[in-house]
Amino acid sequence: RRLNRRPPVTLLDVFQQHVRRQPRRPLLRFQDEVYTYQDVERRSNRAARHFSRHLGLRPGRTVAVFLPNEPTYVWTWLALAKLGCPMACLNCNVRGRALQHALAAARATIVLASPGE
């Protein structure tokens, strides 16, 4: 039903709705840390500002993301969605030719990766 709406409701819309309605409700648990909707909103806003100012990201620019499964991945995804940048998700376990192929297929102009990757 939501997808039939014009414009359609996105996951970013749903997330932001939750931020407004229940900002202090836990959204993520990672190891010993808990992140609320409000925490993730702030971190994703900070990341979006950084990506825009320092990397020159603009709507429509595809970004390859090469991050491990940790909270940073979530606010990176939200930041890119807020900027209107399509995200090409790269499996951080892939290496060599498979990684080269994935990067080429994504046609991304920038890669975001953690220092360990």
CATH of the domain at 102: 3.40.50.980
Classify residue 2: in a domain, yes or no: no
Q: 19 with 38: CB under 8 angstroms?
A: yes
- What number is the average pLDDT over the span 23-48? 97
Query: What does the pLDDT look like over 37-89, one tens digit per residue?
Result: 999 999 999 999 999 999 999 999 999 999 988 999 999 999 999 999 999 99
Q: Report helix, strand or coil for 63.
A: strand
Classify residue 65: in a domain, yes or no: yes
Classify residue 6: in a domain, yes or no: no
Query: Six-digit token pair at 16?
Result: 């932001």
Which range marks the domain in which residue 93 is found? 11-113
- Name the domain count of the chain: 1
Classify residue 81: in a domain, yes or no: yes
Classify residue 27: in a domain, yes or no: yes
> CA–CA separation, 102 vs 115, rounded Å?
19
> CA–CA separation, 71 vs 52, rounded Å?
20
Tell me the pTM.
Answer: 0.87
> CA–CA separation, 14 vs 11, rounded Å?
5
Q: Which residue has the tokens 């807020």?
A: 82
